[in-house]
Amino acid sequence: MKLGVLGGTFDPPHVGHLRLAEVAIEHLGLDKLLFVPAGDPWRKAGQPISAAEHRLEMTRLAVDSLPGCEVSTLELDRPGPSYTVDTLGEVLARYGPETELFFVMGQDALLDMPNWKDPHRIAALAWLAVALRSPGRDLDLTDLEAAIPGISHRLVILPMSFVDVSGTAIREWARKGVSLDGLVPPAVEAYIKEHRLYSQEPARGHR
């Protein structure tokens, strides 16, 4: 089985996430791709994050019509910080060691990997399927290879154009009442409005 894992806070899930999933499934020939909302995203400690139940439901709404994709609550169900290395290990334990695992990510996340827990183990557990910010240009891996020797041999570059959208910008536009049409699926925009997630008096709850 060829299995993809796409993690994130998904606050909210947007068209960039969905396009990344579509390209990964097609280019890598994945049998399935798991969207894994973070339970406690330790790299974003101190930042306000919507309650887990809202992020989970938005992700389910976004993925509902995306063929080959499922939402996993693996990190939400696990106490403590959400470490990628633990998630990949648990996925392989569930699906079997013969599973060929791909961790789908953007260039920024790849370059941040030396700061993650056990990045060498991450590269051993899964291929790193990466979407570049500037497709067609060579990615300078000098510093990354020095920090994580051999990682360059575990990369698969995804053939997709950079989608210039961010959760930070979407949350700000939602707070101002700007339409999110074309940035998030209609069902996700409706959910954001219904629960006033990013309004000035948001119903954010606890992480």
According to the model, what pLDDT value does residue 41 have?
76
Distance between CA 76 and CA 56 in Å, rounded? 9
Please identify which residue in the block is written with the tokens 């996925």: 91
Q: Which two tokens stand for residue 140?
A: 């300078």
CA 114 to each of CA 18, 117, 118: distance values in angstroms, whole numbers, following the listed order: 26, 8, 8
According to the model, what pLDDT value does residue 140 have?
87
Residue 203 lies in a domain: no
Residue 132 lies in a domain: yes
**Helix (H/G/I), strand (E/B), else coil: 111:** helix
Q: Determine how many CB atoms are found less than 10 A away from the CB of residue 52.
A: 20
Residue 150 lies in a domain: yes
User: Contact at 8 Å (CB) between 113 and 149?
Assistant: no
Residue 43 lies in a domain: yes
Angle between helices 52-63 and 15-28 (to 10 degrees): 50
Residue 207 lies in a domain: no
Residue 163 lies in a domain: yes
Domain total of the chain: 1
Distance between CA 85 and CA 72 in Å, rounded? 16
User: Contact at 8 Å (CB) between 62 and 21?
Assistant: no
In the chain, where do the E strands start and end?
Answer: 2-8, 32-37, 69-71, 100-106, 127-131, 155-158
According to the model, what pLDDT value does residue 57 have?
98
Asked whether the CA dihedral 183, 184, 186, 188 is positive or negative, the reply is: negative
User: Contact at 8 Å (CB) between 120 and 146?
Assistant: no
Average pLDDT across each block of 10 residues of the chain; the chain has 207 residues. List them in order. 97 96 97 95 75 97 95 94 94 94 95 95 97 79 95 94 88 94 96 91 41
Q: What is the pTM of this model?
A: 0.91
Residue 204 lies in a domain: no
Q: Which two tokens stand for residue 47?
A: 């930042």
User: Contact at 8 Å (CB) between 151 and 126?
Assistant: no
Residue 6 phi, psi dihedral angles, 5° rounding: -125, 110
Residue 19 lies in a domain: yes
Distance between CA 152 and CA 182 in Å, rounded? 34
Domain that residue 154 falls in: 2-195
> Can you give the CATH number for the domain in which 103 is found?
3.40.50.620
Q: Which two tokens stand for residue 19?
A: 């396009």
According to the model, what pLDDT value does residue 199 have?
86
According to the model, what pLDDT value does residue 146 have?
96
